[in-house]
């Protein structure tokens, strides 16, 4: 049977003046469009990971699709964005095509370090859940899902994010498999789970992500996570053995060794015994409404074996409700300023914002795949799109910060002279720049007919193709989001 492939025109960018949308929406549209312009460069970087040219084209189309303007980024919607009549090509890419998502993940990590790398960055661990129906999706089970705040039938993934001064992007991902899956080999094999994948707790999965980051020499000064990971003593000991400074949240049920008495004490008990003196008011970083102020207390713990480091229990107290307290176990160089520790603790929230953005902007949770391989592939490509979007936003913000302003003349009565009123020049997107791209196919090529192969279904009426809107000299308003500066991602 002849190979079936499709041609993918560049997805259309909605044309609307900036004044027609709120500032945040206009910024998102501009960033998505600028990121879409960089997809061919990313695709060239990933080309060696795909054995066949069809898979390379479909991967590029997939990145275009998740960065596209559609609200729901499932198979049919993405197919419509990239000009396919059916989602079969996308489904094949995520399921049976010949490529290794772990190799692409390695490229993702290298790209993030290349563009966002900073020696003062923070590695942030957390998980997120996707509520699912049925029991066939790999790893699905009744488990706690933070997205709904209760137990639900869901898949849970553990993620590692990289928070640097330049932005926040994901480095790695791992699907959590409950014991109901690892103990049922027939069920696991039906979902495509390899036989060598055994049960591991979420902290154990998190350690695997950290081990891969360290093996790749990812520059980072700190690590942080919530109490799901902070309560795991083995993870804390492993970080100390690597001399990786960390600020890990712990729950009240955890025990720590207090330096003053060299005895183990329950954290919940210690939180009620702290004195009123010795608290410091420090910021945990900037929030939507400005600095996030808390009161902080430092309680020394038994020193670690590593020379030049110290342990401590850092306690955060709410200004509104003094009984609202959160404890962190700290492993840090001796003499680290409390201001730094508070800032690191506050960086944990960056991964929650990154999850929300990835789900809303690149469809992180919009997948319809059920298999182990499909989950790995979708997540890897979606995280690559999120990283690309972060890098583009960083470049756009840097350019806007350096853009000059003009002072148009305004008639004001003062001695009969014209006075200059300082008014910022409104942002006008630059016209599109034509970039030669051997991967971008002609938009005039015909899409494949449904039913062209053996066993195919009945013919499907052709869909209208989405093609870039023309913008020449007669265009009154250029499309929103045409890139302002070239961002090299090679």
Each residue's pLDDT tens digit, 412-432: 444 333 333 333 333 333 333
Select the more confidently predicted residue: 385 or 467.
Answer: 385
In a domain, 260, yes or no: yes
Please say if the pLDDT value at position 404 is more than 90.
no
Query: Is residue 428 in some structural domain?
Result: yes
* Segment 203-223 mean pLDDT: 98
Residue 446, pLDDT above cutoff 60: no
What is the pLDDT confidence band of residue 19, given thresholds at 50, 70 and 90? very low
pLDDT of residue 22: 66
Q: Kindly state the average pLDDT of the residues 460-471.
A: 41
Residue 463 neighbours by CB distance under 10 Å:
13
Q: Which of 283, 300, 335 is the last residue of a domain?
A: 335
| Alpha-carbon distance values, 136 to 96, 153, 179 (Å) | 18, 11, 15
In a domain, 14, yes or no: yes
Which residue did the predictor score with more confidence, 124 or 420? 124
Residue 6 lies in a domain: yes
Residue 197: inside a domain, yes or no? no
Rounded to an integer, the average pLDDT of 238-243 is 98
Query: Looking at the domain assignment, is residue 413 inside a domain?
Result: no
Report pLDDT for 483: 37
Q: What is the pLDDT of residue 79?
A: 85
22/38: higher pLDDT: 38
26 vs 119, more confident: 119
Residue 412 has what pLDDT?
41
What is residue 405's predicted lDDT score, i.e. its pLDDT?
Answer: 58
Q: Which of 313, 335, 357 is where one domain is finished?
A: 335
Structural domain range at position 4: 1-99+423-490
In a domain, 219, yes or no: no
pLDDT at 443: 36
Domain assignment present for residue 354? The answer is no
pLDDT of residue 25: 78
Domain boundary among 335, 353, 375: 335
Number of compact structural domains in the chain? 2
* Average pLDDT, rounded, for the chain: 82
424 alpha carbon, distance to own chain's centre = 33
């Amino acid at each position: 049977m002849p190979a079936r492939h499709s041609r993918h025109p560049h997805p259309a960018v909605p044309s609307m003046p900036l004044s027609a949308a709120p500032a945040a929406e206009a910024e998102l549209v501009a960033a998505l469009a600028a990121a879409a312009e960089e997809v061919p460069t990313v695709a060239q970087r990933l080309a060696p990971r795909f054995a066949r040219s069809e898979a390379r084209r479909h991967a590029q189309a997939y990145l275009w699709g998740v960065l596209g303007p559609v609200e729901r980024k499932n198979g049919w919607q993405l197919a419509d964005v990239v000009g396919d009549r059916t989602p079969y090509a996308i489904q094949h890419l995520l399921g049976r095509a010949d490529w290794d998502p772990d190799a692409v993940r390695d490229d993702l990590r290298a790209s993030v370090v290349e563009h966002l790398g900073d020696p003062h960055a923070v590695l942030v661990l957390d998980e997120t859940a996707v509520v699912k129906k049925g029991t066939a999706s790999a790893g699905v089970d009744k488990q706690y899902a933070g997205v709904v705040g209760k137990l639900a039938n869901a898949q849970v993934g553990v993620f590692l994010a990289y928070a640097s001064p330049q932005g926040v992007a994901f480095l790695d991902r791992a699907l959590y498999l409950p014991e109901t899956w690892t103990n049922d080999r027939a069920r696991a094999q039906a979902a495509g789970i390899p036989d060598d994948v055994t049960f591991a707790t979420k902290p154990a999965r998190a350690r695997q992500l950290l081990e891969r980051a360290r093996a790749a020499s990812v520059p980072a000064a700190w690590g942080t996570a919530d109490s799901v990971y902070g309560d795991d003593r083995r993870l804390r000991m492993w970080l100390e053995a690597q001399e990786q400074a960390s600020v890990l949240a712990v729950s009240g049920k955890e025990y720590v060794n207090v330096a003053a008495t060299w005895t183990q004490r329950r954290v919940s008990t210690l939180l009620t015994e702290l004195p009123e003196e010795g608290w410091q008011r420090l910021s945990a970083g900037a929030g939507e409404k400005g600095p996030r102020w808390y009161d902080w207390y430092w309680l020394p713990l038994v020193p670690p074996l590593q020379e030049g480091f110290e342990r401590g229990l850092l306690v955060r107290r709410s200004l509104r409700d003094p009984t609202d307290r959160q404890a962190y176990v700290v492993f840090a160089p001796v003499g680290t300023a409390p201001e730094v520790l508070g800032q690191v603790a506050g960086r944990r929230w960056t991964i929650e914002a990154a999850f929300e953005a990835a789900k809303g902007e690149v469809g992180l949770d919009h997948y319809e795949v059920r298999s182990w391989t499909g989950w790995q592939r979708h997540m890897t490509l979606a995280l690559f799109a999120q990283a690309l979007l972060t890098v583009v936003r960083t470049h756009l913000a840097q350019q806007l910060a350096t853009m000059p302003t003009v002072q148009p003349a305004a008639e004001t009565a003062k001695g009969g002279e014209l006075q200059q009123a300082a008014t910022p020049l409104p942002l006008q997107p630059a016209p599109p720049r034509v970039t030669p791209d051997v991967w971008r196919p002609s938009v005039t090529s015909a899409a494949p007919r449904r039913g062209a192969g053996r066993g195919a279904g009945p013919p499907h009426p052709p869909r209208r193709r989405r093609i870039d809107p023309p913008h020449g000299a007669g265009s009154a308003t250029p499309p929103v989001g045409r890139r302002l500066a070239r961002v090299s991602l090679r």
